[in-house]
Amino acid sequence: MKLKFTKMHGAGNDFVVIDAVNQQVTFTPEQWKALADRRFGVGADQMLVVEKPQSDGVDFRYRIYNADGGEVEQCGNGARAFVRFVTDKGLTDKRAIKVETMSGVIEPRLEADGRITVDMGAPILDAVRVPFDANGLQARAEHEDMLWPLEINGKTIWISAVSMGNPHAVQVVADADAAPVGIDGPVIENHPRFPARVNAGFMQVVDRHAVKLRVFERGAGETLACGTGACAAVVAGIRRGLLDSPVTVATRGGELSIAWDGGAAPVLLTGPAVTVFEGEIDI
């Protein structure tokens, strides 16, 4: 079939965005993987599929597929690209849009300055719901947080387990640029204590309102930015007593801003969303 798509990115985390309101899209994981391939396909970290809503009181549904073809629960940078897409395509004239995802309804908003703020909902900190198997592990309390030991490549790392609808393992490192993201990232991603696998965050604290972050993403490898990863890292940093809201997150692809008042308060993610080109592909 001929598939129309829009290539977009949010701080360098890049997407193939598809209007499934006006075209029928039912692909296999192999087809999603082929679309994401940077040599034989269009190339992207994730594919975002915009559909009519299934629930009342919601404007759209959007589905997220990783480069490995697997469907996942949430994508923070993708939520911003979604807003830019439906606005620019004239699929809505709203500026605050209710969109349902696999992990629930979120409400991204197009700001007057063109940036987009997404209410990502409250973080999930109960290990079982991340999901993280903590059985038999001895946690280390730090401020409000619980740090868990993981055996990785012959060493023990201490991680915060946080879900933003999707699972994250966040560790603090002295130097994000020097962190062994390519070596430890895949081992963390596939660690048996994360039954749904996990996104691995490497956070360097710059000051109480700024961090540098690299994320080895589940199903995509290291990306230039990870929106839910930035949310999870800031939540972990605030709970560890290392950060105060709001926090500027410097990623390799650009800056994100995260605000969180703690507890059951929502995490607010603000950042850019850019359309790169329109395309069509036979798939």
Active-site residue identified among 8, 11, 42, 75: 75
Binding flag, residue 14, ligand API (CB under 6 A): no
Nearest Cα neighbor of 58 from 24, 110, 107, 122 is 107
Known active-site residue 226: yes
Sign for the CA dihedral angle at 261, 258, 234, 58 comes to positive
Q: Is 76 annotated as a binding residue?
A: yes
What residues from 207 to 266 belong to the interface with ligand API (CB under 6 A)? 217-220, 223, 226-229
Binding mask 175-214 for ligand API (x = CB under 6 A): ------------------------x---------------
Residue 265 is classified by DSSP as P
Binding flag, residue 13, ligand API (CB under 6 A): yes
Closest to ligand API by CB, 139 or 187: 187
Closest to ligand API by CB, 195 or 241: 195
CB of 140 to ligand API, least distance (A): 25
Instruction: Count the residues of the shown chain that bind ligand API, applying the rule CB under 6 A.
Output: 20
Binding flag, residue 76, ligand API (CB under 6 A): yes
Nearest Cα neighbor of 192 from 137, 123, 239 is 137
In sequence order, which residues have a C-beta less than 8 Å from that of residue 237 and are 6 or more positions away?
172, 203, 205, 211, 243, 247
In sequence order, which residues have a C-beta less than 8 Å from that of residue 78 and are 6 or more positions away?
10, 13, 15, 46, 48, 62, 64, 227
CB of 27 to ligand API, least distance (A): 17
Alpha-carbon distance of 99 to 112, in angstroms, equals: 20
- Among 69, 78, 108, 237, which residue sits at the site for ligand API (rule: CB under 6 A)? 78
Q: Is 228 annotated as a binding residue?
A: yes
104 neighbors 256 (Cβ within 8 angstroms): no
User: Residue 83 is inside which H or E element, if any?
Assistant: helix 76-88
User: Residue 62 is inside which H or E element, if any?
Assistant: strand 60-66
CB of 187 to ligand API, least distance (A): 16
- Greatest C-alpha distance within the chain: 55
Closest to ligand API by CB, 31 or 166: 166
The DSSP-derived string for 135-149 is: TT---EEETTEEEEE
Known active-site residue 231: no
Active-site residue identified among 97, 130, 226, 267: 226
Q: Is 252 annotated as a binding residue?
A: no
Q: Name the site residues for ligand API (rule: CB under 6 A).
A: 13, 45-46, 66, 72, 75-78, 166, 199, 217-220, 223, 226-229
**What residues act catalytically?**
75, 226
